[in-house]
Structure 1
Amino acid sequence: MKSIQAIIPGVLLTVVIAATSKFIESILPMPLISASVIALFIGMIINYFLQSDNPVTKGATFASKKLLKLGIILLGASLNMATVFQVGRLSLSVMVFTLLTCFGIGHFSGKFFGLNWKMSNLISAGTGICGGSAIASIAPVIEADDLDVAYAMSATFIFDMAMIILFPIMGHALGLSDMAYGLWAGTAVNDTSSVVAAGYAFSDGAGDFATMVKLTRTLVIIPTVIVFALISAHIKSKEEHKHEKAKFSLTKVIPWFILGFLALTVINTAGFIPESVGHTFKLISKFLMVMALAGIGLKTSLKDMKSAGTGPMLHGFVISALVVIVAIGVEYFMGLV
């Protein structure tokens, strides 16, 4: 009972921050910034004024760990693998190269800027897949620190703000068609809200296509979290069993919440989850993720971020810029430009 009482203040605060962030997102004239990023920044600002022994820490930790995992599970109810074959055939060709760029060149870029592998890959995942959702989904799988998550979210957010302005200008300068531009924006811009903003700033047709491509791109979360679960399990196994053979365990290789996420994805793909229920689960999932980002913000010190230097931001800029170039280059060789 005492443990429950201990988390209530922090959880309630994350609910307030999440609700406030969703409201701010809804009143913006265009989808410039997602509620997740807003919640993270609000949490970090509040953290600046909190004492080290504040009463919200335990609740913030509960939201950033437990509720985040529940949100990931529920997200599976809104993902349908059939979408890949319906609208994603064209975009998958481009995404293969952008993902190779993010995680291939990103590996060396992260080392060059002195980042740990968790922060480096979170930034790459946020850039290559779908911004905050990818970062939030992968972070607990690799047991990333709150500072790693905060930096990854910040790096992708800053780039997205620039792309909302620059993408339509570059698209018109290149003389792109609605489909070519929509494919480019949908595969190269990070967060969903930023894709929508950049897409419809070009034209309604480009916005529609960019949104479909982005939704397909979100499905890449599924194989990515599995791969990172395997990598994380391998690293932990080497550390724990340096001189003995580790025993195989599915729940150790793939965390339980990812199994739940995959199970709901399969059930939804098979058509057993009504669309209205899947939509409701998605809304709950998104709100839980916003709460989780608020919790991470409440535990993240602006001073700690400042001490980490400019490496993460530079890494994010390099990877994001390369993805933009690679995406349009692939379209050129496909004859779409």
Structure 2
Amino acid sequence: MKTALPAPPRAAAPTAVATIAHPDKQWLSRAVFAVFLVFCLTPWASPPVALALGLVLAQTVGNPFPSFTKTYTAKLLQYSVIGLGFGMNAYSAVQAGRQGILFTVCSIFGTLLLGYVAGRWLKLGRHLTHLISCGTAICGGSAIAAVGPVVRAKDEEMSVALATVFVLNALALFLFPAVGHAFNLSQQQFGLWCAIAIHDTSSVVGAAAAYGKEALDIATTVKLARALWIIPVALGTALAFRQKDVKVKIPWFIVGFIGAMLLNTYVLATHYVGPWLVQAARLGLTVTLFFIGAGLSLNAIKSVGAKPFGLGVLLWLVISSVSLYVILHT
């Protein structure tokens, strides 16, 4: 019987080199992450700048805390949205909600129908098509996260759908304010357009905040009212896909936002702490967008694929252009 010989010493050399180099790169990525995060907490940072810093981090030294940013992105966004409620008036919010209700209903069902037709034309899977369509129609990642378990989507389908809407969200955050100024949109018009045409709540609030306070109030209210459609759409999805024993997650942070807004409107004492809470919420939103950008690595973008990304772009362009035309001519 032959005895196995140990590996020659020189075969271990590459591993030793990699082990030495890895901590250096990890230290650098952590240092850059810390510097960017601290900057996002300063008055010089804004949501678009924070997103850009996150993208720079992801494409260069990489995100050293992917699990941390993934876990806390949604939580930080939800708490930030609740905090923004302390700077809003209930009467103004109701008025803004009335203006956006018809837009919301027509755009949601129109987007879902167009997505179904375009998905069949592109020969995409039914689950992936529905996830991207729901993300575009309602509220991006939140809608995908709610509908995915209902259709029992695979992890790969969820990842591709989320990556698609996150990439388009990043583009929207930079493009929409520029388009709004080019068409000379009012604060009210831009806030409504943001809420209808941008997927995720984080990018809606970020783009609207860059445009003005009135735009921010309108965009936040209309977008959160739109997000409530997660519930009926998820229930309808269960029926359409003939799924049984499914659980639909209720977006409780919207209830928190409404509660904060009511407190700010009717309880005088909240006026003393309201401005501080709103400021903290805006900082939280800025950090949220930095986390989102840090999660958009080149590999994540490449994983989308041409057809799913094409479907996302098609739906986004249609809902953006049609809603902008209607807003300009009504």
Question: Normalising to structure 1: TM-score of the pair?
Answer: 0.60
Partner of 1:215: 220
Aligned partners of 1:64 and 1:295 also within 8 Å: no
Alpha-carbon spacing, 1:78–1:102, altered in 2? closer, same or farther (3 Å): farther
Partner of 1:254: 249
Alpha-carbon spacing, 1:262–1:124, altered in 2? closer, same or farther (3 Å): same
Q: Secondary structure at the match of 2:228?
A: helix
Matching of residues 38-77 of structure 1 within 5 Å: 38-40=53-55, 42-47=57-62, 56=64, 59-65=65-71, 67-77=72-82
Matching of residues 92-241 of structure 1 within 5 Å: 92-115=101-124, 124=133, 127-128=136-137, 134-141=139-146, 142=148, 145-158=158-171, 161-169=174-182, 171=183, 178=186, 181-182=189-190, 185-187=193-195, 189-190=197-198, 191-192=203-204, 193-195=206-208, 210-220=215-225, 222-227=227-232, 230=235, 238=243
| Aligned equivalents of 2:241, 2:130: Cα separation in 1 | 17
CA offsets 1:204-259 (integer angstroms, 9 cap, x no match):
xxx66544432223313541443466578889994xxxxxx74x8xxx4327xx44
Aligned partners of 1:155 and 1:317 also within 8 Å: yes
Cα offset, 1:310, TM superposition: 2.3
Matching of residues 71-86 of structure 1 within 5 Å: 71-78=76-83, 80=85, 82=90, 83-86=92-95
Cα offset, 1:85, TM superposition: 0.9
Cα offset, 1:37, TM superposition: 5.7
| Aligned equivalents of 2:119, 2:39: Cα separation in 1 | 31
Q: AA paired with 1:155?
A: L
Partner of 2:285: 286
Q: AA paired with 2:316?
A: S
Alpha-carbon spacing, 1:308–1:15, altered in 2? closer, same or farther (3 Å): closer
Q: AA paired with 1:217?
A: V
Instruction: Number of aligned residue pairs: give it.
Output: 281
Percent identity between the two aligned chains = 15
| Aligned equivalents of 1:284, 1:23: Cα separation in 2 | 6
- Higher gyration radius (CA): 2
| Aligned equivalents of 1:318, 1:195: Cα separation in 2 | 23
Alpha-carbon spacing, 1:97–1:186, altered in 2? closer, same or farther (3 Å): same
Alpha-carbon spacing, 1:314–1:26, altered in 2? closer, same or farther (3 Å): farther
| Aligned equivalents of 1:116, 1:24: Cα separation in 2 | 44
CA-based RMSD: 4.7
| Aligned equivalents of 2:226, 2:116: Cα separation in 1 | 18
Cα offset, 1:167, TM superposition: 4.7
Which 10-residue stretch deviates more, 76-85 or 117-126?
Answer: 117-126
Q: Secondary structure at the match of 2:61?
A: helix
Segments of structure 2 that go 5 or more residues without pairing to the other structure are: 1-25, 150-154
Cα offset, 1:150, TM superposition: 2.8
Cα offset, 1:64, TM superposition: 0.5
Partner of 2:7: none
Q: AA paired with 2:70?
A: S
| Aligned equivalents of 2:311, 2:73: Cα separation in 1 | 26
Aligned partners of 1:183 and 1:209 also within 8 Å: yes
Aligned partners of 2:140 and 2:165 also within 8 Å: yes
Aligned partners of 1:14 and 1:60 also within 8 Å: no
Cα offset, 1:61, TM superposition: 1.7
Question: Normalising to structure 2: TM-score of the pair?
Answer: 0.61
| Aligned equivalents of 1:12, 1:323: Cα separation in 2 | 39
Partner of 1:317: 313
